[in-house]
Amino acid sequence: MRAVQVTEHIWWVGALDWGLRDFHGFETPHGATYNAYLVRGETGTALVDTTKAPFVPELLARISSVMDPAEITLIVVNHVEPDHNGGLADVMAAIPNARVVASAGGVTGVADYHNGLVVDAVGPDDVIDLGGRTLRFLPMPMVHWPDSMFTYCLEEKTLLPNDAFGQHVCTDARWADEHGLDEAVAEARTYYANILMPLGALVSKAIAKVLDTGWPIDVIAPSHGLMWRGEGIDRILAAYGTWDASQRLEKALVVYTTMWGSTDMLARRIADGIAATGVDVELYDLAVSSIAKITDAMLDSRAVAFGSSTIHRGMLFRMAGYLHYLSGLKPKGMIAGLFGSYGWSKGAEKQMREALEPIGFEIPFEDFLVKAKPTAADLTAAEAWGRAIGEEVKARG
């Protein structure tokens, strides 16, 4: 296993998790990587982040392809979440003489995750000179956890922002432009929607904070997926600028789950009605759709029609599961409509409302409910209900 040279003095020494298919609920059909980087100066070498615990041998093997790991003088913990530093204690055992630093929040996090382990705090006023290669540190609380921090190497003009600008994709390419910029930005968008969506305002502030430093950036080297350089840097910075609640398009989603097909019939006609207004529409059956991709689609949509058949006076479990997933991500500034079929008792709509209103969805439409199987008149009405959603989306543009 080999390191990959990133700049004259920086090497990628991360781990490839080709087989990962689930990142606590976020499906990862293309796997994931846990990137770590060596920054080599004349008098010292820093290892920026380690890896998920099972991948420590891979990390050490890659480091060994360029240097003896025992000669590393500094370990930087940008983020204590176990995908990046679950293996910290094992790595420290192989690199016994290195100083270990983290943000102030990271110091607490390292102790919490590693049995009281004590490391040094660094912040924006600290400068670590590795001998011609200088490291600076920017605390970035909540990008993604309170402890998160960006590291910057002045001479290599390289930003090491941990979770920010990452993607869950495992490939033999290390650079976004090698993989294809369009696809890399699309992967970054799915990652942003499913990991960073609730933190969008803080992420935007973090980016402004980095740009305010005036530090030139030739390379953005995140801790997941592909690295950005050249046009890729412009593309990913511009994309991050659009992925917040103020950038919603004339687009609506129909997200539903069905028991005997009646709610499916309604969903399709509602989608027809939305489309008839000229609003873009995407339809997702929760039984067969990727949760991550639905959430990605929500990033620039203004409205969602949520549909569930009623079972036991409530919603079907797939809708309950998805709304719980969404409750953590809290999309902002969105409207919703509720629909579905029922047998002897209604109830799914009540549970969906109880889940959606605390998330922040406004529900300005009457619920659209049909008993048993929709009649032709019901389907015509469903299409009209969809038109009303489409018109409201346009009105709020």
Report in angstroms how near the CB of residue 221 gets to ligand FEO at its nearest: 14
Strands 335-342 and 368-371: parallel
Is 52 an interacting residue with respect to ligand FEO (CB under 6 A)?
A: no
Q: Which of 163, 282, 300, 383 binds ligand FEO (CB under 6 A)?
A: 163
Is 81 an interacting residue with respect to ligand FEO (CB under 6 A)?
A: yes
Q: Which of 9, 84, 114, 144 is catalytic?
A: 144
Distance separating alpha carbons of residues 35 and 166, to the nearest angstrom: 10
Is 114 annotated as catalytic?
no
Contact between residue 84 and residue 49 where contact means Cβ atoms under 8 Å apart? yes
Contact between residue 28 and residue 20 where contact means Cβ atoms under 8 Å apart? yes
Report in angstroms how near the CB of residue 166 gets to ligand FEO at its nearest: 7
Query: Residue 32 corresponds to which tokens in the numbers above?
Result: 């994931």
Is 244 an interacting residue with respect to ligand FEO (CB under 6 A)?
A: no
Q: Which of the residues 82 through 121 are near ligand FEO (CB under 6 A)?
A: 83-84
DSSP letter, residue 374: P
Query: Residue 45 corresponds to which tokens in the numbers above?
Result: 């070498």
Query: Residue 248 corresponds to which tokens in the numbers above?
Result: 């919603």
Report in angstroms how near the CB of residue 168 gets to ligand FEO at its nearest: 9
Q: Which of 9, 114, 224, 268 binds ligand FEO (CB under 6 A)?
A: 224
3-state secondary structure of 222: coil
Binding residue count for ligand FEO, defined by CB under 6 A: 9
Beta carbons within 8 Å of 198's beta carbon, 6+ residues apart: 328, 329, 330
Q: Which of 144, 248, 269, 302 binds ligand FEO (CB under 6 A)?
A: 144
Amino acid found at 292: A
Q: Which of 9, 79, 114, 179 is catalytic?
A: 79
Report in angstroms how near the CB of residue 291 gets to ligand FEO at its nearest: 18
Distance separating alpha carbons of residues 328 and 326, to the nearest angstrom: 5
Binding site for ligand FEO (CB under 6 A): 79, 81, 83-84, 144-145, 163, 223-224
Which residues have a catalytic role annotated? 24, 79, 81, 83, 144, 163, 191, 224
